Amino acid sequence: MFLLVSCQNQTPTDNAEPNSLKKNQIAIDKKEQPVLEKDSEKDSEKDSEKDENQQQPDDEQNNGEQQQPEDNQEADEKEQQKPEDEQETENSEQESKNIARVDESGLAIVSNPESTEVFLNKQRRLPDGYQPPNLVEPNVPFSFEGSNPKRQMRAEAANALENLFSAAEEAQLDLVAASGFRSFETQRYLYNNYVETHGQAEADKFSARPGTSEHQTGLAMDVTTAEVAFALKQSFKQTSEGAWLANNAHKFGFIIRYPEGKTNITGYIYEPWHIRYVGKDIAKTVYENNITLEEYFGYGY
């Protein structure tokens, strides 16, 4: 059953698990919270002003066709049918990767949470109690000291992140990891406090409701750099590190999950710091076609 969330009077942080959180015991690190900037509003306005796709003209391909000889017609039909069957099989295989059932609130529950291709958004959530397997700590610099679950990622994603950071270092760039795995409880705590601070409508633009966060999959990492004081803000795009990340993340299997100009598709503001591991094949397709996972899988939010 889908869990309804309630707001708490507490400034959000993802530094610790909620079971140990108390109002008088939490050290707030504002650098790790998304910074709302005016250009995010412009991004949303830009999305809303996009023209609707032009309607395609009616198909008139049947007009003027030449009739084929009867003895060749059957062979031609079989030749045309073969690729259609192959395409249908391919589509079925792709759709089966993200088959989901729907909970009482109308959210789809993904059936492949452990897949690196798992697709979450505002209408698709993880199963209750999901905990990703093989969580490890990648050997990369972090923006904070000490042990913390948010240092962790799935093993495959962690290895890819290490390779990405090594390549950035070779390019004389200093990427810093800020926040990886986040439990359902931590996400609920964060979301509730963002709602308390900003209101639900505003919070929904930059914070995932519990159960729908990519951080819970162990496949996402927020990345920053010293030039933006290790904060999570859209001006990261303007840094050398941010520009390099946008153009090279796909080579290591990562995508910028919430790209610029796609708010009307993803439902979230532009987040140049949020990278998601999906594997090199999908990442390459997403990057080269300038699309989102919503567009890749054919699901809206």
DSSP string, the chain: -PPPP---SS----SS-GGG--GGG----GGGSEEP-HHHHHHHHHHHTPPPPPPPPPP-TTTTPPPPPHHHHHHHHHHHHHHHHHHHHHHHHHHHTT-EEE-TTSPEEES-TTSTT---BTTEEPPTT---SSEE--SS-BSS-S--GGG-EEHHHHHHHHHHHHHHHHTT---EEEE----HHHHHHHHHHHHHHH-HHHHHHHSPPTT--GGGGT-EEEEE-GGGTT-EEGGGGGSHHHHHHHHHGGGGTEEEEE-TT-HHHHSS--EEEEEEE--HHHHHHHHHHT--HHHHHT---
Q: Is residue 175 part of a domain?
A: yes
Rounded distance, CA 104 to CA 2, Å? 7
Tokens of 262: 């796609």
Beta strand 220-224 pairing with 271-277: antiparallel
Q: Which residues contact 207 (CB under 8 A, 6 or more apart)?
A: 34, 190, 191, 194
Task: State residue 52's pLDDT score.
Answer: 44
Task: State residue 33's pLDDT score.
Answer: 64
CB atoms under 10 Å from CB of 167, counted, come to 15
Rounded distance, CA 261 to CA 237, Å? 13
Task: State residue 36's pLDDT score.
Answer: 64
Q: Is residue 260 part of a domain?
A: yes
Q: Is residue 258 part of a domain?
A: yes
Structurally, the chain folds into a number of domains equal to 1
Orientation angle between helical segments 155-170 and 240-248, nearest 10 degrees: 130
Residue 218: give its domain's CATH number.
Answer: 3.30.1380.10
Q: Is residue 203 part of a domain?
A: yes
Task: State residue 299's pLDDT score.
Answer: 80
Task: State residue 43's pLDDT score.
Answer: 47
Rounded distance, CA 21 to CA 17, Å? 7
Rounded distance, CA 158 to CA 255, Å? 14
**How far is residue 139 from each of residues 14, 136, 153, 210, 256, measured CA to CA in Å?**
20, 9, 11, 28, 21
Q: Is residue 231 part of a domain?
A: yes
Task: State residue 31's pLDDT score.
Answer: 45
Q: Is residue 51 part of a domain?
A: no
Tokens of 47: 């999305």
Q: Is residue 255 part of a domain?
A: yes
Task: State residue 93's pLDDT score.
Answer: 52
Task: State residue 99's pLDDT score.
Answer: 60
Rounded distance, CA 13 to CA 29, Å? 7
Range of the domain at 251: 94-297
Q: Is residue 23 part of a domain?
A: no
Query: What is the mean pLDDT for each group of 10 consecutive residues in the chain (301 residues)?
Result: 37 41 39 57 46 44 44 48 47 54 92 97 97 98 97 99 99 99 98 98 98 99 98 98 99 99 98 99 99 92 64
